[in-house]
Structure 1
Amino acid sequence: MTATPDLGTPRLAAAEPSSGASGAVDPSALLRSVFRRHAAGVAVITARGERPVGFTATSLSSVAAEPPLLSFGVGTASSSWPVIAEAGHVGVHVLGEHQRDLAATFARSGADRFGPATGWRSGPEGVPLLDGVLGWLVCRVVARIPAGDHHVVIGEVTAGDSSGAGRPLLYHQGGFNGLRD
C-alpha cells in the first residue's frame, strides 16, 4: 500500500463566470468553464433502434487494453438515451477535422441525423456506421453506470477499422477545431 499525503480539504477557486451575487461559486458553472479550456477529441456514438440514433460525444476515453474497453457519457435527457439504454452494441466513430458539419448535425437537437446528407451503412451487429471517419469501432455494451444527469457507458471492442485518413477534429472553447501546426 502506498501512503498518500493529506492534500487538505478541496476548495473551489472563485471564477468570475461562476460566482453568483453572493460571491458563492457554482460548481457546475465552474466545471463547464474549466472544461471549455480542455481540448477533446470528437466522436459520434450510434446505435440501432426502431430507427438509428446517434449523438456527438467529447467524453470518449480508452479504459483498458485487455480486454479492450472504452467509455463515453450520454445524457439521460438525450433523445438517443432510450435506445442506448437498451442497445447490446454501439458504434463509436472518431471524426476528422473535415467533418465539422457532421459533428454539428449529431450535436443539434431535432436534427435529421441519418438523413440524405449523412453517409452511413449498417455494420456488424446492425450498428449504423458513418462514412469517411478516421476510425470506427463496434462495441458490446458491458455496463451503464448512473452518473448525475448522465450515464457512463462501458463498451468492449468487437470490430472496427482504423484506416481512415486525415487529422482529428477537436472540441475546444465551445467550437469544433482542427489541429494547428
Structure 2
Amino acid sequence: MSYPATPDDIQRFKDAFRLHPAGVALVAGNTAEGLVGLTLSSIASVSADPPVLSFSVTRSTGSAGGILSAGTFVVHFLTDQQAQLAMNFARTGSPRFTEEQGWQTLPTGEPYLPSASMALRCTIRETLPVGPSVLILANVLDTYQGEPATPLVYRDRTFFSGGGLEALPVE
C-alpha cells in the first residue's frame, strides 16, 4: 500500500477486514449526560498481567465520545441470542437500555447486562488517535461471568452464530 493510501488501497483494506470474522461486544458506560453504549467487533486482548484489552472507535463524538469521557465502562461479550441487541446499539436512534433488554446497574454505577456471556468492567489506560479513529487501551478492573453460550460473530456486515465452529486437528 502506498502512503497516503489511495482510495483503492482503502477499499482493499476494508474488504480484508470485512471478510475476517470477529466476536461482537457491547461497550456501555454512564456519563454525566446519561447512559451510552455501542456495538464493537474490534475487542482484543493485549495483556493478561496486567489485564488490558483494546478496541477502537471511529470518532470521538456520540456514544463513542461518551465512552471516552466515562470514568469506567463495561465490555459485554454478546451471545448469538443477542443479535438484535447488537444491532440496536449499532444504529443511531434505536432502543437502548430498555427494561426488555435486561439491563441492570452495577454497585459502581455502570450499566450491566447479565445475559452477556462475560462482562469486563474497565477504565481507560491510554488512547491513541489514528486517522479519524481512536485506539483505546483499557485496564480490566473486574470480571463478571455469565452463563456459557454461543458467541455472536460479525462478518461481511452480517451477524452469525459462532456455534458452527468446529475444532480442526493440527499437528
TM range (shorter): 0.7 to 0.9
Q: Does 1:27 align with 2:9?
A: yes
Is the 8 Å Cα contact of residues 119 and 146 (structure 2) preserved in structure 1? no
Secondary structure of 1:97's counterpart equals coil
- Contact 2:38–2:64 (8 Å) recurs in 1: no
Q: What are the ranges of 5 or more consecutive residues in structure 2 without an aligned counterpart?
A: 167-171
Which of the residues 31, 46, 57 maps onto 2:28?
46
Offset at residue 113 of structure 1 (A): 1.3
The corresponding residue for 1:4 is none
Offset at residue 162 of structure 1 (A): 2.2
Instruction: State how 1:34-113 maps to structure 2 within 5 Å.
Output: 34-49=16-31, 50-76=33-59, 78-113=61-96
TM-score normalised to the size of structure 1?
0.82
Alpha-carbon distance, 1:131 to partner: 3.0
CA contact (8 A) 1:124 1:159 kept: no
Q: Which residue of 1 aligns with 2:128?
A: 145
CA RMSD of aligned residues (A): 1.9
Larger Rg: 1
Q: 1:70, CA displacement in angstroms?
A: 0.3
Q: Where in structure 1 do 4 or more consecutive aligned residues deviate above 3 Å?
A: none
Q: TM-score, normalised by structure 2?
A: 0.86
Question: What letter matches 1:33 in structure 2?
Answer: D
How many residues align structurally? 161
- Once the two structures are TM-superposed, the CA of residue 127 in structure 1 deviates from its matched residue by 1.2
1:157 and 2:140 equivalent? yes
8 Å CA contact 2:23, 2:41 repeated in 1: yes
Q: Letter of the 2:42 partner, please give it.
A: S
| Runs of at least 5 residues in structure 1 that lack an aligned partner in the other structure | 1-9, 12-23
Matched-pair contact (CA < 8 Å) for 2:115–2:146: no
Taking only the aligned residue pairs, the percentage that are identical comes to: 33
Contact 2:47-2:53 within 8 A present in 1 as well = yes
